[in-house]
Structure 1
Amino acid sequence: MFLAFPNFNIWSTPLLLLTIQGLIFAVLICNRYRKRKNLSDVLLFFILVITCYHQTTYTLGFMGWYDTFRNTKINYALIALTIAIAPLIYLYVKSITRSSFSFRKKDWLHFLPAFLVIIYRILIFSYDALQPGFAATQNGYLKIHFDEAYFLPVYSIFSYIQNTLYLAFTLQLFYNYRKKINEYFSNTFKLELNWIRNFLLLYIALFLYDLIQTITGTMFIDLDYKQQWWMTLFTGLIIIYVGIKGFFTDTTKLKKLDFSFSPNRAAIPERDTISKKKIATEDIQKIKGLMEHEKPYLNPELNLSDLAKLANLTRAQLSEIINSGFNQNFNDFVNGYRVEAFKDMLQEDKHKQLSILGIAYECGFNSKATFNRVFKKLTNSSPSEFLKTFG
């Protein structure tokens, strides 16, 4: 007997190819975990696998599964596990940005709702499977009269609320971490941080798209499968991006950063107003002299701890001097000297011997993107525009 399944068409084929590619990258990331034992790889693996699993409903539907197997029981296994995705995203970002992070027993509580939903689905399937005539129908009594009528609407609302909270906490975690990097390091780790930012923004966009589509379909117009197909295609494209960038972006260097100290103004002992002004002036001159004569900013990996050792200060004291005395964070402070060094080299006609990027590297910058961004921020012109002023 000829079956309509699988039907490869313009609707099913893109979804199938994107999902398969996503699973391939999930396998590659899982294999990398076996070699490196990075917990972030396990979390990203499950994010990709569950997101691909969510594609199953529409992929199989457009391939003709439901028309061919009219008594299929697959709906019992198709569970929206977005309540597991949001905690996974939170823990993934946390595992990258906290060197001390490890998965503890209490972290399983993040996934308790997802486990309960899976157990619930097994129970209603077990009940429906015992009812007369179940083999001749697609959905049993509880699936229709309880799951779809009552449970799924409540579950959907709970899922959106939970996702909103988790994504908000994750964004806060990321932006606080990025701010701390500017307080400690002259290298902003732009590539790695951009990956985390884009990863979060894409999943937020996906969440908002799904929310808008659900509200539209519930309150305004009944959307058919082809109208909802675009959401599934968008998800598939995100899967590919996350798979590729997640595999090729090395985030382990972020996990190795030392944030054992948090800059705190209170760390400086209290002094009377006159002494504070006098010492602050002396400290400012001391740091300026160090930067101008020893030029530690030429080291592209210079961090707050390194400079504190050179200045014979604690990190708390140095952070206070830079923040209050120079009104800058550590990153801007160091890169300001690098920009000035770049200008000095142009004055010496070094651009006739080296490229702009070559001079930037000589001045302590570690990437073209960082150099261009910092130079534009501090001078309001691009390096090439600035070079034209030298004729």
Structure 2
Amino acid sequence: MFLSFPDFNIYSTPLLVLVVQGLILIGLLFSRFAKTKMSSDLILGLLLLLLCYQQICYTIGFMGWYNEFRNTKINYFLIPIALGVAPLIYFYVKSVTSSRFTFRKRDWWHFVPIFSLVAFRLVIFAYDASQPGFSETQNGYLKIHADEAIVQPLLIFVSFAQTLLYLAFTFQLYINYRKKIQQYFSNIYKLELNWIRNFLVVFSTLFLYGALQDIISSLIVDLSYTQQWWLNLFMGIVVLYVGIYGYFTETTKLKKIGFGFSPEPVDILEAEDRLKTIPEEEIESLKQFMDDEKPFLDPELNLSDLSKKVKMSRGQLSAVINNGFKMNFNDFVNSYRVKSFQDKVKAGEHQKHSLLGIAYDCGFNSKATFNRVFRKLTEQSPSDYANSI
């Protein structure tokens, strides 16, 4: 099938192009990390480097390496990358959704499986290399009878379980982040990090594709090298997509603000907390301040800023809003913005200005957020409301 190495054919060429572009993006991420020390760039770069490593191994195979060099020892270094990719996915999302993320010494424990496998492969390579006739064969005794016969079948199940577990934890981390920002920020459009959602969906799809291929190959029919090519093509596209969006998407906004507060969402408060009575004077004081000072007109208003203005601690203010108004911070502030918008429309300002312009004057900072919030709080669109006046 393959000509002499390097053979640029319909299988190897697309993979080679994707790998080269992936390596360029990795270089850009590492270069930016060297300048900014943003841990998310380093983690994403390492994640993509592992994927590209596997891509390179398959690419040179499709270029005829294994046919040209029958006694190659590369099989000793074909490491199942899922053992390293899974924790890197988790730590990348954690580094982006945490304003004070630091990689701690104990976090290295997450990488014990991949480091252990690398050490095991080095040991069996050293042993096999010391045996007579090793230079005349591709795989030595321990590679065949220990690694391929025992370890690799176990790794299929271990990698599947580990990846599934880390993806579940990472989705939970992202969902909790989305809930948390509603308790802290009044405008969350730029903080929703839909890129991270897409990132997780892409890697989940890649994981399911790979798992399905493993099941078919193990239980139904042994897939050929070329039949597995589609997974490698998909992986190359994933590297390109993740690299481009990971490099150009703004994910550092949280680093510029103190986002260390973790108030409890109103919908998961304990029953006794729901019944806790908030002093009426605190509720009225907050209402009066919102009506008189109109802090909601500031698009960047957050819980910390408002707590300073009303001279409450962040925890105290969160409790007043959650228990006194039965809302999270985001809905509380946006309810005033919506009311301000309605008042301006009733006054006929929509005859002089666009609805979006009025919304911006009321403290909203994006069309998408304004439309979503208005419909959520009034059960009608802004235009329908304006037409009803």
Map 1:206-225 → 2, pairs under 5 A? 206-225=206-225
Q: CA deviation at 1:388?
A: 4.5
Query: Per-residue deviation at 1:53?
Result: 1.0
1:22-37 aligned at under 5 Å gives the runs: 22-37=22-37
For residues 1-391 of structure 1, what are the structure 2 equivalents within 5 Å?
4-190=4-190, 193-263=193-263, 280-389=279-388
Aligned length: 382
Letter aligned with residue 326 of structure 2: N
Contact 1:21 1:240 in 2 (8 A): yes
TM-score (norm 2): 0.89
Q: Percent identity?
A: 58
- Name the CA distance, whole Å, in 2 between partners of 1:243 and 1:387: 44
Q: Provide Cα deviations, 1:257-295, integer angstroms capped at 9, x if missing partner.
A: 424433369x9xx99x9xx75x54433333222222221
Structure 1 CA distance for aligned equivalents of residues 16 and 191 of structure 2: 31
Distance 1:233 1:389, change over 3 A: farther
Q: For 1:379 and 1:300, how far apart are their aligned partners in 2?
A: 20
Structure 1 pair 29–69 and aligned structure 2 pair: CA distance change class (3 A): same
Alpha-carbon offset, residue 206 of structure 1: 1.5
8 Å Cα contact 1:190-1:370 kept in structure 2: no
Q: Distance in 2 between matches of 1:54 and 1:388?
A: 59
Q: Is the 8 A contact 1:183 1:331 kept in 2?
A: yes
Change (3 A) 1:22 1:356: farther
In structure 1, how many angstroms separate the alpha carbons of the residues matched to 2:235 and 2:387? Answer: 46
CA separation in 2, counterparts of 1:124 and 1:184?
Answer: 53
> Is residue 189–residue 366 contact of structure 2 (8 Å, CA) maintained in 1?
no
Q: Which amino acid aligns with 2:297?
A: L
SS of the counterpart of 2:157?
helix
**Which region of structure 1 is more displaced relative to structure 2, 225-234 or 328-337?**
225-234
Whole-Å Cα distance in 2 between the matches of residues 356 and 90 of structure 1?
Answer: 41
CA offsets, 1:69-88, max 9 Å, x none? 22222212221121111121
- Superposed CA RMSD: 2.6
Give the CA deviation at 1:191.
5.3
Cα distance in 2 for residues equivalent to 1:190 and 1:253: 8
Structure 2 vs 1, CA of residues 23 and 353 (structure 1 numbering), >3 Å: closer, same or farther?
farther
CA shift, 1:361, in A, is 1.6
Structure 1 residue 309: Cα displacement: 2.5
Deviates more, 1:374-383 or 1:6-15: 374-383
Which structure 2 segments of 5+ residues have no match?
Answer: none
- In structure 1, list runs of 5 or more residues that go unmatched: none
For 1:107 and 1:145, how far apart are their aligned partners in 2? 33
Range that drifts further, 253-262 or 40-49: 253-262
In 2 relative to 1, CA 380–224 (structure 1 residues): closer, same or farther, beyond 3 Å? farther
Amino acid at match of 1:119: A
Three-state SS of the structure 2 residue aligned to 1:236 is: helix
C-alpha distance in 2, partners of 1:337/1:11? 59
Instruction: Kindly indicate whether the alpha-carbon contact (under 8 Å) linking 1:308 and 1:315 is maintained by their aligned counterparts in 2.
Output: yes
1:161 and 1:353, CA in 2 relative to 1: closer, same or farther beyond 3 A? same
- Could you tell me the TM-score, scaled by structure 1's length? 0.89
* Cα 1:351/1:228, change in 2 over 3 Å: farther
Cα distance in 2, alignment partners of residues 338 and 80 from structure 1: 52
Separation (CA, whole Å) in 1 of partners of 2:12 and 2:342: 57
CA contact (8 A) 2:22 2:48 kept: yes
Distance 2:292 2:382 in 1: 25
Per-residue CA deviation, residues 129-184 of structure 1 (Å, 9 max, x unaligned), is 23333223222222222211111111221122222222222222222222111111
Letter in 1 for 2:281: E
